[in-house]
Structure 1
Amino acid sequence: MKICIFGAGAIGGYLAEGLSRVEGVDLSIVARGKHLAAIREKGLRLLIGDEERVCRPRATDDPSTLGPQDFVIVCLKAHQAWEAAEQMKPLLSAHTAVVTGQNGVPWWYAHGLDGRFSEARFPSVDPDGRQWRVIGPERAIGCVVYPATEIIELGVIKHGYGDKFALGEPDGTRSLRCERLANALIAAGFDAPVLDDIRSEIWLKLWGNLCFNPISALTRATLDVVAAEPGTRALSIAMMTEAKKIAELFGASFRVDIERRVNGAARVGAHRTSMLQDLEHGRPLEIDALLTSVQEMGRFAGVETPYIDAVLGLVQQLGRSLGLYPAISRKAVAHPVEAPRLRAAG
């Protein structure tokens, strides 16, 4: 089984170390720059608990040297995955599956939905339909990533917590390709359930990310504060209420209620969200996949989102002012509705 991990950063590197130990897996990774150079020189190093593990997978910045794969696991952020779509072409054959490990709304989300919702496209995560066209939604396998990992130096990944990678076909079938990948991940030591409703799993994680991440970036507050302080808690609940209406129209359901989801976040403790960490380290902010895409879905479905709109406008301006929100051209979402307008109190 040929598996290529496209983007051997914190999550990709963690996956690579595990899969490198599985018999029958022909593993390669695509990385770049000094990180790639460090992996080639000293191997890919994973710090997990009190243990250091080192692997030496085939590593390149040129996918054309690898040939077609059985699975391409994309571990880039959403805007990076869009930029890299054309580079993935040499890895694709008629049977290749592409696993989307990004946070937020995936570019293939509308594939296979009923009625007019199947026509929805989300320029915030797939401008001009590049991934839809180059990769093709029929190749997509959804993946919700739960582990917390970070790059602590070039070529070195530190594992914080978690080992779950939930998988699922957009059409809800339990396919042979999903089973094969899940078995490989389980053999690598990961928890890899195959779900019959991957969209609901995507939304369960996104539900918190779409409010906690931007609010933490705007306030510099940790997750426990955002979820417990009355003002930010109320704002989070308002945003989640808007998002729930949208998600249900787009085929998702929720196995927990809003209060339980927010309380669970509060119990995590003084965690710095990924967007807050990116802000502090001067990295591009992952705004569009987590928030702009939800706004686009609301426009398509005719759901007003005044709280999401307000927070999105603020965090976009924060990103622009710091040069951390790159502008990319976007076409209008199909069948847009007029944006709701906020009314001033009194």
Structure 2
Amino acid sequence: MVMRVCVYGAGAIGGLIAARLSRTGASVSVVARGDTLEALQRQGVGIVEGGKTGFHPVHAVAGADQLGVQDLIVVAVKQPALNAVLKQFGPLMDANTRVLLAMNGVPWWFLDGLPDAPSDTVLRCVDPQGDLRRHLPSRQVLGCVVHLSAAIESPGMVRLNSGNRLIIGEPCGEISTVTRAVAELLEAGGFEVELSAGIQRDIWYKLWGNMTMNPVSALTRATTDSMLDDPLVNRFCCNVMQEAAGIGRAIGCGVDQTPEQRNATTRKLGAFKTSMLQDVEAGRALEYEALVGTVYELAGKLGQEVPNISTLYGLIRLLARSATPT
């Protein structure tokens, strides 16, 4: 049976996934707007990888109401846009639909399925009304950690720069036959896919580096090499990560690395602009709540003092608010 797939978010990651799945023969629709919608309708998704350029057909539409029920929905938007997007899923879903969330940061469902989670599982900074589980039950979620770098060259045209790995898993830790089928589809599209029985740990590990590099770069307008070469900034980042590691241990998401080891690995990547710095420069909304706000909120639920995380959260929150157009 041909799998019906809808991709929300035709940026670099969403566009790459749509193109890769299209070439497997899946029926791929993409919800887009503006120049991107026009480009997808005209030529499909363009992808540049390995020195070659290819175009892959998709059914591009302006809204979910133009599609029927899907087997798989891939969400590749940033956190500030997510809540509104989830509330559009009604026409796309039945009880068998799965939703793959290819996003950074801690999601609203993160505490579901964690044995050591605090009793209050609602993360208000990303789920202010506490109603996202009503729109998307956790049992239909597939968490996805993206370990690759891609960029938009022009509307509807994606370049894969490096990496090719996706880690996917269910909040409850089960690896069901449906999840295996999604993994096989992604593998058929050319991704290296790892199935995880502890997707929250994988999310936390990636967050552990992102929660410092992204907001600090946005605040300082510095590339990662400059931040890590400054001993005071490097130490501050390590202190934030040390506090986050303590939160991780308390909820069963321990990290088998020191902050210094993780930063040394990041430093080897050279000079690059984080996604949050690029968002600041482009005047886009910042996804700071999923990267820092959730960690600060978790610390409060656990009764842990986190002075460095508190400072970072306050600063990036103030930057985000001052940069938001009135």
TM-score by structure 2 length?
A: 0.95
> How far apart in 2 are the matches of 1:318 and 1:37?
34
Aligned residue for 2:209?
Answer: 208
Aligned residue for 2:72?
Answer: 71
1:181 deviates by 0.7
Q: Aligned pair in 2 of structure 1 residues 159, 116: CA closer, same or farther (>3 Å)?
A: closer
Aligned residue for 2:164?
Answer: 163
Tell whether the 8 Å contact from 1:47 to 1:159 is kept in structure 2 after alignment.
yes
Aligned pairs (5 A) from 1:239-278: 239-278=240-279
Identity %: 36
The gaps in structure 1 that reach 5 residues or longer are 327-346
SS in 2 for 1:240: helix
Q: Which ranges of 4 or more aligned residues in structure 1 deviate by more than 6 Å?
A: none
Aligned pairs (5 A) from 1:170-185: 170-185=171-186
Aligned residue for 1:41?
Answer: 42
Tell whether the 8 Å contact from 1:120 to 1:300 is kept in structure 2 after alignment.
no
Aligned residue for 1:336?
Answer: none
Q: What amino acid is aligned across from residue 244 of structure 2 in structure 1?
A: A
> How far apart in 2 are the matches of 1:230 and 1:115?
35
Tell whether the 8 Å contact from 2:292 to 2:313 is kept in structure 1 after alignment.
yes
RMSD: 1.5
SS in 1 for 2:267: helix
Tell whether the 8 Å contact from 1:222 to 1:271 is kept in structure 2 after alignment.
yes
1:263 deviates by 0.7
Structure 1 residue 294 and structure 2 residue 284: aligned?
Answer: no
Aligned residue for 1:15?
Answer: 17
Aligned residue for 1:187?
Answer: 188
> How far apart in 1 are the matches of 2:206 and 2:36?
29
Structure 1 residue 220 and structure 2 residue 221: aligned?
Answer: yes
> How far apart in 1 are the matches of 2:8 and 2:117?
33
> How far apart in 2 are the matches of 1:51 and 1:205?
30
> How far apart in 1 are the matches of 2:289 and 2:239?
19
Q: Aligned pair in 2 of structure 1 residues 208, 115: CA closer, same or farther (>3 Å)?
A: closer
SS in 2 for 1:158: strand
> How far apart in 2 are the matches of 1:32 and 1:137?
28
Tell whether the 8 Å contact from 1:225 to 1:266 is kept in structure 2 after alignment.
no
Tell whether the 8 Å contact from 2:116 to 2:252 is kept in structure 1 after alignment.
no
Deviates more, 1:56-65 or 1:181-190: 56-65
> How far apart in 2 are the matches of 1:192 and 1:115?
27
Q: What amino acid is aligned across from residue 306 of structure 1 in structure 2?
A: P
Aligned residue for 2:8?
Answer: 6
Q: Aligned pair in 2 of structure 1 residues 116, 15: CA closer, same or farther (>3 Å)?
A: closer
SS in 2 for 1:192: strand
Higher strand share: 2
SS in 1 for 2:112: coil
1:116 deviates by 5.9
SS in 1 for 2:152: strand
1:47 deviates by 1.9
Q: What amino acid is aligned across from residue 224 of structure 1 in structure 2?
A: D
1:257 deviates by 2.6
Aligned residue for 1:117?
Answer: 118
Deviations 1:93-146 (A, max 9, x none): 011111111100011111122366253211211221232111111111110012
> How far apart in 1 are the matches of 2:188 and 2:225?
35
Deviations 1:154-189 (A, max 9, x none): 222122111111001112122111111111111100
> How far apart in 1 are the matches of 2:313 and 2:59?
40
Q: What amino acid is aligned across from residue 21 of structure 1 in structure 2?
A: R
Tell whether the 8 Å contact from 1:166 to 1:192 is kept in structure 2 after alignment.
yes
> How far apart in 2 are the matches of 1:88 and 1:302?
36
> How far apart in 2 are the matches of 1:119 and 1:70?
31
1:152 deviates by 2.2
Tell whether the 8 Å contact from 1:126 to 1:132 is kept in structure 2 after alignment.
no
Q: What amino acid is aligned across from residue 279 of structure 1 in structure 2?
A: V
Tell whether the 8 Å contact from 2:111 to 2:117 is kept in structure 1 after alignment.
no
SS in 1 for 2:28: strand
Tell whether the 8 Å contact from 2:166 to 2:194 is kept in structure 1 after alignment.
yes
> How far apart in 2 are the matches of 1:20 and 1:287?
32
1:62 deviates by 1.8
> How far apart in 2 are the matches of 1:52 and 1:127?
42
Q: What amino acid is aligned across from residue 251 of structure 2 in structure 1?
A: F
> How far apart in 2 are the matches of 1:130 and 1:162?
35
Aligned residue for 1:96?
Answer: 97
